[in-house]
């Protein structure tokens, strides 16, 4: 307390002797003086500059730093306004000022309320809403401010002179100012609540979705406005700019440079003269409002359509107090007499601008459907005034807010306290031509703000008290629930928008909001909603007459060619990084080469060093190349798919999986090589071999994509990773590494995770010693000698015995990812993955996630060798991630496991199916289910779980059984390219279903189908339910896959699971491996050869 008092005294200084009418605060810019409010209880600081608005030709650029001063600034009200229509006095270009309302108290660390004014983004100012009465409770500080509005704040040309969202960037600057200075006024910069109504709420919603505001506020009150609907992000900002320029009598609108020059030189009087053309449009949209920005090398606040950001969960979740009034549409009453006949003549003109139709006929059909729903067979007229009000209530504010709410809860499980405000005073007049009364636009916000209550009824005064209590409770605690026992407990809403608080003459928690009106618009938006466009940025590519396309990337120009069959251009083997060679071969990748002449991006069949490769492949140490497949289209901002190949971390290459059939549906697909085996995963915890070189290659690839993919027409902020097997394990590691933050937004993860067959090495140094012994190196206990051996041995020798690395009885590959020691380099993985997951220390992204019912088929080839070994010593086949206090305990667990799968019978031909199930579970299915539960419990991840069981009708049964099932990675193979000439109709139908699921997830962040016969796919909970069963029948099962088997392994892992060793100390020598240990490595040699050729056959002929 003593420390707090000293701090407070150093920043709050009473001046002018005994005159306590002034309070001086020393902020970063200099001293400011606020004056005590005439009614007492608080000090007010008006018009303090928080940033500087650029002027003249730079007027549309981001804000500049604020001014500084030496002598005290008297923060009195100078009525500063930003340029806007019908306000000539006090307007100025440099209008970015903040107002602060500070309680007259010595308390510090007070919560902070920041108010964002509304006004259709065209008018208004910070002092249009004030909260003195809340401040007088001595429980908070209130802040309001100006931001640039209209064309001044929201011209969006995607150019350096007018990048867009200047007004939103002003708001971000204000939040940074608050974060820096508010403690000097006695506020807590870590307890900031934003509040707004109407366009202010639309802006606020955008702020909650922008990475530029992370950590700048902790709660938000959104009322009658969201990032979609009337005050949402605009659909086509450049067309809006052209249209308005025409209204202002500028003709050369199709020349973007001329258009920009017009706006940069036109006087503000002209720019604000025809605001009637900007707001109150029939299609609900405001013409100058927030936009999705083009990447021009400046900081962007909106990089994607808000609904895309929400659905992908790519935002920071904060509690929301969230609602609207029951008669928002009353704001359209002034237009009723004009619009009623126009609505009867052509209702389609009044459909929301964010709906898109394939042709005018479809649009007219939808318009008729909507008109019938609201007005029945009657015309729009005085008899249907209530329907007129409800229609505009829904399309302007109510439905857009509900749509966003559902998307938020589905994505990240947002805590949203939903309400509908319907209170009206008894003396409130009815709406024209009706006997109906209702709460008009922003009435709920007005009830909380300062107002003159003289002459108001007791009922209204009571409602003001209730509304203020709800608001204050939310600001203080993050929950609006009242301490008054007469009022119900306010629970957050679920994705079905229930419950909500009905705030009217009676305060009650209800289940239904808008009734069938919301469901009606759900059906319309599901089919016809489109997000906003990005200003055209497809300047990187040009098409040649010879069927090639040249793209200018950061390294230089690259040429790709149209693939046979057309529709897709392929760019092969572009270096995305340089692999260090020689003694540095295990270090992190280096920057890629550059060139001046055009790089011919042809398939040179480059592969990273590995064993058993075709003679046609080009094996080389510097093997880090990327392949990019783009559709034959001029469209830009396309979703990007990045494929990570599998192969037990020991073999494979980027082109083993290709997805050109998906590319034809207008995505971009990327594949690449990364270092493998010892080359990519030797982990000694030394400077020369720190570990995870292969994963660091993947990070380099993702950074390359982030930098270059826009040149190919892709959206760097809409990247989906997909992989199966070890590729999926790599993918899962990427999701828990801090190095990948922001580099991808969604993942498709199949048959592989951070534990199980493709998990992190439990003891990487011991693995390195064992393998060196296999390669006939003896001095393995001296770490320096061991490192020198690996640095100097030839690549050919390194890969010569990779049979001793994979297909181990203990499940996990010998050379895979590891937890790294800190050796002064960038660390990919600093802790055991399950620790990271359980602590929630990762970025949550949506994932499509599953396995096949017979993933254990990868162990077919070793059955004849292993069955006797399993009968002899089953404990050798337990997962290496299990740890036991003694050999006796290990044998007891092994017997328990063997009994569960095989009963009293030995492992043999008669229970081959049990052998498959056992390997399915320990290799892939249970590890995936365990990590799923951990993720959902930690951060509520949106995980669309599936079990893939589909097999074609002519698929052969497994050996020694008539059973058939989906083999390892069959779910990926059916989506990727392949010859379907002889495929059955059943296979082709399943392929189309799976490709549709993938495309939906890549595009929207959730797998859905337009086929009404298929069920809606919901994310799984921590109990691993529901899951989609993808077989001959597509069924959403309200249960976990393999429930009994998973429950069995839950018990085992609960008691015996251990993660990889996390070693931050110097490595101590350990004994030389026994001959038995070395021989167990040698045993798998012939097994590996069989397995590898089985993999190669599957890869090339399935």
- For residue 468, what pLDDT band results from cuts at 50, 70 and 90? very high
Return the exposure string of 908-936: e unless at least 16 CB atoms fall within 10 Å of the residue's CB, then b.
Answer: beebbbbbbbbbbbbbbbbbbbbbbbbbb
d(CA 502, CA 834): 43
Do the beta carbons of residue 560 and residue 551 sit within 8 Å?
yes
Mean pLDDT calculated for residue range 1042-1048 = 97
In the predicted structure, residue 817 carries a pLDDT above the cut 90:
yes
For the stretch 6-34, pLDDT in tens is: 333 334 443 333 357 999 999 999 999 99
Could you tell me what percent of the chain has a pLDDT over 70? 91
Strands (E), 752-881: 847-852
Q: Same topology for domains 2-322 and 861-1052, yes or no? A: yes
d(CA 438, CA 451): 20
Of 490, 387, 448, 453, give the one whose Cα is nearest residue 224: 448
Pairing of strands 110-116, 141-145: parallel
In the predicted structure, residue 1070 carries a pLDDT above the cut 60:
no
Mean pLDDT calculated for residue range 720-742 = 96
For the chain, the domains span: 2-322, 546-849+1061-1101, 861-1052
Average pLDDT, the chain: 89
For the stretch 254-269, pLDDT in tens is: 888 899 999 999 998 8
Which ranges of 289-351 would DSSP assign to H, the alpha helix?
306-311, 336-345
Cα dihedral sign, 121-223-204-348:
negative
Which ranges of 450-539 would DSSP assign to H, the alpha helix?
458-477, 516-528
d(CA 996, CA 999): 5
Annotated catalytic residues are: 198
Q: Please name the fold of domain 861-1052.
A: Rossmann fold (3.40.50)
In the structure encoding, which two tokens stand for residue 962, read together? Answer: 């008539």
Return the exposure string of 381-390: e unless at least 16 CB atoms fall within 10 Å of the residue's CB, then b.
Answer: beebbbbbbb
For helices 360-375 and 385-393, what crossing angle results, to 10°? Answer: 120
Pairing of strands 30-36, 22-27: antiparallel
End-to-end Cα spacing for the chain: 72
For the stretch 897-950, pLDDT in tens is: 999 999 999 999 999 999 999 999 999 999 999 999 999 999 999 999 999 999
Which stretch of 35-44, 335-344, 796-805, 827-836 has the lowest confidence by average pLDDT? 796-805
For the stretch 629-672, pLDDT in tens is: 999 998 899 999 999 999 989 889 999 999 999 999 999 999 99
Of 1049, 1056, 1078, 1102, give the one whose Cα is nearest residue 927: 1049
Strands (E), 732-837: 746-750
Residue, of 142 and 283, whose pLDDT is higher: 142
Do the beta carbons of residue 950 and residue 974 sit within 8 Å?
yes
**What pLDDT is stored for residue 808 in this prediction?**
57
For the domain with range 2-322, which CATH number is right: 3.50.50.60, 1.10.3720.10, 3.40.50.1820, 3.90.1150.10? 3.40.50.1820
- For residue 727, what pLDDT band results from cuts at 50, 70 and 90? very high
- The CATH classification number of 546-849+1061-1101 equals 3.40.50.1820
Do the beta carbons of residue 562 and residue 547 sit within 8 Å?
yes
d(CA 955, CA 934): 36
Do the beta carbons of residue 1008 and residue 1034 sit within 8 Å?
no
**What pLDDT is stored for residue 1101 in this prediction?**
32
In the predicted structure, residue 813 carries a pLDDT above the cut 90:
no
In the predicted structure, residue 420 carries a pLDDT above the cut 90:
yes
DSSP state of 126: G
Of 647, 629, 651, 646, give the one whose Cα is nearest residue 638: 629
In the predicted structure, residue 436 carries a pLDDT above the cut 70:
yes
Do the beta carbons of residue 911 and residue 902 sit within 8 Å?
yes
- pTM for the predicted model, two decimal places: 0.55
- Return the bridge partners of 230, or none: none
Coil, strand, or helix at residue 771?
Answer: helix
- For residue 759, what pLDDT band results from cuts at 50, 70 and 90? confident
- For residue 1073, what pLDDT band results from cuts at 50, 70 and 90? very low
Residue 216 buriedness (CB in 10 A; 0-12 / 13-18 / 19+): buried
d(CA 876, CA 873): 6
d(CA 795, CA 798): 5
For the stretch 522-542, pLDDT in tens is: 999 988 988 786 554 333 444
Of 644, 635, 627, give the one whose Cα is nearest residue 710: 635
Q: Residue holding tokens 């420390």?
A: 3
In the structure encoding, which two tokens stand for residue 571, read together? Answer: 């760019």
For the stretch 352-404, pLDDT in tens is: 988 988 889 999 999 999 999 999 999 999 999 999 999 999 999 999 999 99
Count other C-beta atoms under 10 Å from residue 334's C-beta. 10
């Amino acid at each position: 307390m003593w420390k707090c008092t000293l701090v407070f005294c150093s920043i709050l200084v009473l001046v002018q002797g005994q005159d306590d009418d002034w309070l001086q605060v020393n902020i970063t810019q200099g001293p400011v003086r606020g004056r005590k409010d005439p009614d007492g209880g608080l000090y007010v600081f008006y018009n303090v500059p928080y940033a500087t608005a650029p002027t003249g030709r730079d007027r549309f650029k981001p804000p500049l730093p604020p001014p500084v001063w030496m002598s005290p600034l008297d923060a009195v009200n100078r009525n500063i306004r930003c340029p806007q229509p019908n306000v000539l006095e006090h307007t100025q270009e440099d209008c970015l000022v903040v107002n602060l309302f500070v309680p007259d108290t010595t308390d510090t660390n007070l919560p902070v309320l920041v108010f964002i004014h509304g006004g259709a983004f065209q008018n208004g100012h910070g002092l249009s809403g004030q909260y003195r009465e809340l401040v007088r409770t001595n429980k908070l500080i209130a802040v309001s401010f100006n931001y640039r509005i209209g064309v001044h704040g929201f011209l969006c040309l995607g150019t350096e002179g007018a990048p867009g969202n200047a007004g939103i960037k002003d708001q971000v600057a204000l939040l940074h100012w608050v974060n820096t200075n508010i403690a000097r006024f006695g506020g807590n910069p870590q307890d900031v609540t934003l509040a707004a109504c109407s366009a202010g709420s639309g802006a606020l919603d955008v702020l909650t979705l922008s990475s530029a505001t992370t950590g700048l506020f902790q709660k938000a009150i959104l009322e009658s406005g969201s990032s979609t609907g009337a005050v949402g992000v605009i659909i086509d900002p450049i067309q809006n700019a052209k249209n308005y320029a025409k209204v202002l009598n500028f003709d050369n609108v199709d020349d973007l440079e001329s258009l920009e020059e017009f706006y940069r030189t036109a006087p503000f009087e002209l720019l604000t003269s025809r605001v009637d053309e900007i707001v109150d449009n029939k299609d609900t949209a405001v013409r100058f409002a927030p936009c999705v920005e083009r990447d021009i090398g400046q900081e962007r606040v909106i990089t994607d359509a808000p609904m895309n950001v929400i659905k992908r969960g790519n935002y920071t979740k904060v509690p929301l107090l969230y609602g609207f009034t029951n008669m928002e549409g009353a704001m359209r009453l002034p237009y009723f007499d004009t619009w009623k006949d126009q609505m009867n003549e052509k209702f389609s003109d009044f459909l929301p601008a964010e709906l898109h139709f394939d042709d005018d006929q479809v649009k007219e059909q939808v318009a008729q459907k909507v008109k019938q729903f609201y007005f029945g067979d009657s015309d729009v007229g005085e008899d249907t005034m209530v329907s007129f009000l409800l229609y505009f209530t829904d399309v302007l504010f109510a439905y857009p807010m509900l749509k966003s709410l559902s998307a938020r809860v589905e994505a990240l499980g947002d805590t949203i306290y939903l309400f509908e405000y319907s209170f009206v005073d008894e003396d409130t007049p009815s709406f024209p031509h009706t006997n109906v009364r209702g709460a008009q636009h922003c009435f709920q916000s007005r009830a909380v703000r300062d107002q003159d209550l003289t002459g108001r009824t007791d009922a209204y005064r009571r409602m003001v008290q209730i509304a203020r209590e709800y608001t204050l409770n939310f600001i203080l605690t993050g929950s609006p629930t009242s301490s008054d026992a007469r009022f119900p407990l306010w629970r957050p809403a679920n994705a079905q928008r229930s419950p909500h608080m009905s705030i009217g003459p009676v305060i009650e928690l209800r289940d239904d909001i808008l009734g069938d009106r919301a469901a009606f618009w759900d059906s319309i938006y599901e089919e016809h909603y489109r997000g906003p466009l990005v200003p055209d940025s497809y300047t990187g590519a040009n098409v040649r007459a010879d069927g090639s396309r040249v793209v200018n990337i950061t390294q230089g120009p690259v040429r790709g060619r149209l693939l046979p069959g057309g529709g897709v251009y392929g760019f092969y083997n572009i270096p995305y990084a340089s692999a260090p060679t020689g003694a540095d071969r295990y270090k992190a990748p280096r920057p890629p080469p550059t060139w001046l002449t055009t790089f011919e991006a042809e398939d040179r069949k480059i592969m990273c060093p590995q064993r058993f490769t075709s003679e046609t492949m080009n094996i080389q140490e510097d093997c880090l190349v990327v392949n990019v497949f783009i559709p034959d289209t001029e469209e830009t901002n396309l979703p990007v798919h990045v494929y990570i190949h599998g192969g037990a971390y020991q073999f494979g290459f980027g082109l083993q999986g290709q997805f050109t059939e998906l590319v034809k549906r207008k995505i971009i697909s990327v594949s690449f090589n990364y270092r493998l085996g010892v080359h990519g995963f030797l982990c000694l915890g030394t400077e020369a071999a720190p570990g995870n070189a292969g994963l660091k290659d993947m990070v380099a690839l993702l950074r390359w994509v982030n930098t270059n993919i826009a040149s190919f027409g892709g959206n760097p902020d809409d990247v989906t990773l997909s992989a199966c097997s070890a590729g999926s394990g790599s993918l899962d590691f990427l999701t828990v590494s801090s190095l990948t933050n922001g580099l991808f937004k969604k993942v498709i993860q199949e048959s592989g995770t951070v534990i199980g067959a493709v998990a992190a090495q439990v003891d990487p140094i011991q693995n390195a010693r064992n393998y060196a012994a296999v390669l006939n190196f003896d001095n393995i206990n001296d770490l320096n000698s061991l490192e020198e051996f690996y640095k100097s041995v030839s690549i050919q020798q390194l890969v010569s015995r990779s049979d001793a690395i994979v297909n181990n009885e203990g499940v996990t590959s010998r050379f895979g990812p590891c937890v790294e020691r800190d050796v002064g380099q960038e660390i990919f993985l600093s802790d055991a993955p399950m620790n990271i997951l359980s602590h929630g220390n990762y970025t949550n992204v949506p994932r499509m996630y599953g396995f096949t019912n017979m993933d254990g088929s990868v162990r077919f080839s070793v059955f004849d060798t292993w069955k006797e070994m399993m009968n002899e010593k089953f404990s050798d086949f337990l997962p290496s991630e299990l740890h036991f206090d003694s050999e006796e305990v290990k044998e007891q667990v092994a017997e328990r496991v063997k009994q569960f799968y095989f009963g009293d019978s030995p492992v043999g031909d008669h229970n081959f199916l049990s052998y498959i199930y056992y390997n399915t579970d320990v290799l892939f299915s249970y590890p995936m289910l365990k990590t799923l539960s951990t993720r959902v419990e930690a951060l509520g991840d949106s995980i669309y779980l599936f079990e893939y069981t589909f097999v074609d009708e002519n698929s052969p049964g497994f050996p020694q059984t008539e059973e058939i099932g989906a083999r390892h990675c069959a779910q990926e193979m059916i989506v990727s390219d392949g010859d379907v000439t002889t495929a059955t109709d059943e296979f082709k139908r399943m392929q189309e279903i799976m490709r549709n699921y993938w495309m939906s997830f890549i595009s929207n962040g959730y797998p859905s189908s337009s086929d009404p016969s298929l069920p809606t796919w919901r994310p799984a909970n921590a109990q691993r339910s529901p899951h989609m069963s993808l077989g001959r029948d597509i069924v959403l099962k309200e249960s976990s896959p393999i429930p009994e088997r998973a429950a069995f392994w839950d018990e085992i892992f609960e008691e015996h699971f251990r993660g990889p060793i996390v070693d931050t100390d110097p490595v101590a020598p350990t004994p030389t491996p026994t001959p038995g240990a070395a021989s167990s490595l040698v045993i798998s040699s012939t097994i590996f050869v069989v397995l590898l050729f089985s993999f190669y056959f599957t890869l090339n002929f399935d």
